[in-house]
Structure 1
Amino acid sequence: MRVLGASSEDEMVACFLRGELASRRFGPKLRSHLAVGEERLLARPDLADEGANRARRALLAATRGYGENRDLFENFPTGVTWIRALLSNEEASGVRYIDYSYWIELSGGSRRPTDAAKRIRAGLRAFEVPNEPFLEAADARSGFPPLILVGERRDELVCLEGNLRLTAYALAGFPADIECLVGTAPAMRRWAR
């Protein structure tokens, strides 16, 4: 892992929302929570604007339970240290999916994107959900926001946001230098199991 520099909770929240905004699955719900003109908070976030940072945190709380110990962020610790980094293909292939039934099924139980890629290429589906979005993303692979990865340590990471993009990278053979935000905390094990 090549560390590019420090990051922050505010950058993670902005990055998370940017990824969700582009999502077919989560984008509509996120947009339904945005007031007129608020999409600019997500498209070009100004991390120096504390009011905008508060608004983004509130939006992530409303849509995914961030800071409220519910939904996706149940058992997510406070006091996470964030960095920006580039992962090698070997490091990226070791990242696990979130502990969620769909990703477990897609990967055949391993939570490894390399296993999911093999199953997708073989035409297997998780819960009859089409695989086309993965294949389309694997063909595109440009303009992706950074993956958001978390763990107790940097060498055992789980994908918090970007599981579809992680799968696209696996289908493409994990090109080197995958940009990500990495959050670590001693209590992360309760969430990143």
Structure 2
Amino acid sequence: MSSEDEMVASFLSGELTSRRFGPNLRSQLAAGGQAEQLLTHPDLSDAGANFARRALLAATRGYGENRDLFENFPGRVTWIRALLSADEASGVRYLDYSYWVELSGGSRRPTDAAARIKAGRRAFDVPNEPFVDAAHALIRGERFPPLIFVGERQDALVCLEGNLRLTANALAGFPTEIECLIGTAPAMGRWAH
């Protein structure tokens, strides 16, 4: 089993290392007088720290406020920790966002995106080097933070956090099982379509 608090901590930890989202998180932490340790070494038994992380995810991505990334995201989600095999991971779809749709040629499948990247195709002229660099890191044995997948059921998942890392795994041929948190809810289909 897992928890909402673990998902929030994992989500923020994953985004802290992101070139795209990390700077905004650091800025929000500084504005709130919080240290990065809130995200890099989360104490899930500390109710105040859990509240601060939920507030940070609300401020940066709309969590719990039915906006931005979390628009139509259900309030009650069951969270578990899991390891996905290559076959299971290759079936996870990207979220329905124009960049990921374009990168995958419309399928929202990481294996299709990997094939397009290998063929030199770019989505909206955004360089593919971050995917290639991350795939090389995986091949060298680096470990990534857990990815976060959601769906109505465990056999129909969408990547909530970690799309770049999911793509890197596809590029590397899914060399190991993927550590993840999986959130399921009957109403998740409104978000994870």
For the aligned pair, the TM-score class normalised by the smaller chain equals over 0.9
Query: 2:150, 2:175 → 1: CA distance?
Result: 20
**What are the within-5 Å matches in structure 2 for residues 22-101 of structure 1?**
22-35=17-30, 36-101=33-98
2:117 aligned partner: 120
- In structure 2, list runs of 5 or more residues that go unmatched: none
Query: 2:11, 2:34 → 1: CA distance?
Result: 19
Query: 1:59, 1:20 → 2: CA distance?
Result: 12
Query: 1:39, 1:50 → 2: CA distance?
Result: 17
Pairing 1:179–2:179 present: yes
2:156 aligned partner: 156
Choose 78-87 or 171-180, whichever is displaced more. Answer: 171-180
Counterpart residue type for residue 83 of structure 1: I
> Which of the numbers 4, 17, 22 marks the counterpart of 2:12?
17
Q: CA deviation at 1:37?
A: 4.7
Q: CA deviation at 1:186?
A: 0.1
Choose 99-108 or 175-184, whichever is displaced more. Answer: 175-184
Query: 1:38, 1:10 → 2: CA distance?
Result: 18
1:3 aligned partner: none
Query: 1:80, 1:149 → 2: CA distance?
Result: 12
Query: 1:8, 1:120 → 2: CA distance?
Result: 35
Task: Return the TM-score normalized by structure 2.
Answer: 0.96
> Which of the numbers 90, 107, 111 marks the counterpart of 1:110?
107
Give the secondary-structure state (helix, strand or coil) at the position aligned to 1:34. helix
Q: CA deviation at 1:175?
A: 2.0
Pairing 1:134–2:131 present: yes
- Identity level (%): 79
Query: 2:67, 2:137 → 1: CA distance?
Result: 33
| Coordinate RMSD, CA, aligned | 0.7
Give the secondary-structure state (helix, strand or coil) at the position aligned to 1:149. strand
Pairing 1:168–2:163 present: no
- In structure 1, list runs of 5 or more residues that go unmatched: 1-5
Counterpart residue type for residue 8 of structure 2: V
Q: CA deviation at 1:38?
A: 1.8
Deviations 1:64-119, CA, capped at 9 Å, x for gaps: 00000000000000110000000000000000000000000000000000000000
Counterpart residue type for residue 147 of structure 1: L
Aligned length: 188
